[in-house]
């Protein structure tokens, strides 16, 4: 089944403890992206990647890191999480030819930083 | 930068037609997409307009006017399961996708 898999689905952590949210897609998509969703603010892009070893900042990159060493994986790293990073996170992927086929989203990761 | 405006809430009755508008301001534009998101779920792709005009997919249609920086999603024969949030999103160079704040659609019996 074609899908984007995120792990974990739920995570509660403490301020300052490094964490990684994994994202993997099995559709051979070139484009991958991370979004965070907060009430009233919609989906805001954190980082995106157009191909292996090519990443760029989105609208809200502060406090996050990403890497794209393989085409299928695009982990999101929070080196020192803070409570304002409590949010619902989505990973998404798409074909490189544009968004005519749309982004496919993972099921989401609900992160709470206390 | 980009900004997208869409109503925060819309209410309609089952069987009716509803239109969700989206206006955008962008420095570069490659197309307008629409996504549906049910509570607790992930956004799912509905439609994409790169050129002016109407695209129809079953009960859902999407319209784009590039000269007016405006588009809408039209939902016909509303069903209870259509109750969800709907997001417009603009694609710019590099396939970066910027989303609007979302419109919460409530379908009543």
What's the pLDDT score for residue A34?
Answer: 97
Nearest beta carbon to residue A50 from set B41, B46, B95:
B95
Q: Is B50 on the interface with A (CB under 8 A)?
A: yes
- The answer to whether the CB of A90 falls within 8 A of the CB of A43 is yes
List the beta strands (DSSP E) in B1-109: 3-5, 9-13, 18-25, 31-37, 44-49, 53-57, 60-65, 70-75, 84-92, 96-99, 103-108
Distance CA B101, CA B109 (A): 26
To the nearest whole Å, the CA of A6 is away from the closest chain B CA by 11
A107 pLDDT band, cuts 50/70/90, is very high
- Chain A CB contacts of B29 below 8 Å: none
Q: Is B44 on the interface with A (CB under 8 A)?
A: yes
Q: Is B96 on the interface with A (CB under 8 A)?
A: yes
Mean pLDDT by 10 residues, chain B (109 residues): 87 97 88 94 93 94 96 97 96 78 96
Cα dist from B89 to A103, B2, B22, B32, B84, whole Å: 11, 10, 9, 6, 16
What's the pLDDT score for residue B17?
Answer: 97
Q: Give the pLDDT confidence of A27-59 residue by residue, as tens digits.
A: 999 999 999 999 888 899 999 998 899 999 998
- Indicate left, alpha or beta for A27 from its phi (over 0: left) and psi (-120 to 50: alpha): alpha
What's the pLDDT score for residue A100?
Answer: 66
């Amino acid at each position: 089944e074609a899908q984007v898999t995120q792990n974990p689905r739920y995570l509660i952590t403490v301020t300052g403890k490094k964490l990684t949210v994994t994202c993997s897609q099995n559709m051979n998509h070139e484009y991958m992206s991370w979004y965070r969703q907060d009430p009233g603010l919609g989906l805001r892009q954190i980082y995106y990647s157009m191909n292996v070893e090519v990443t760029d900042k989105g609208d809200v990159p502060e406090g996050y890191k990403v890497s794209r060493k393989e085409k299928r994986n695009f982990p999101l790293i929070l080196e020192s999480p803070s409570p304002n990073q409590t949010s619902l996170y989505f990973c998404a992927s798409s074909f490189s030819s544009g968004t005519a086929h749309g982004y496919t989203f993972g099921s989401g990761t609900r992160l709470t930083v206390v | 930068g980009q900004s997208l405006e869409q109503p925060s809430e819309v209410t309609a009755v089952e069987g009716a037609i509803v239109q969700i508008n989206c206006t955008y301001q962008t420095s570069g534009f490659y197309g307008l997409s629409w996504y549906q998101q049910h509570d607790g779920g992930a956004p799912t792709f509905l439609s994409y307009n790169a050129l002016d005009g109407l695209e129809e997919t079953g009960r859902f249609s999407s319209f784009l006017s590039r000269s007016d920086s405006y588009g809408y999603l039209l939902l016909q024969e509303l069903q209870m399961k259509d109750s969800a949030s709907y997001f417009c999103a603009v694609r710019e160079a590099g396939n970066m996708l910027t989303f609007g704040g979302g419109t919460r659609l409530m379908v009543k019996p």
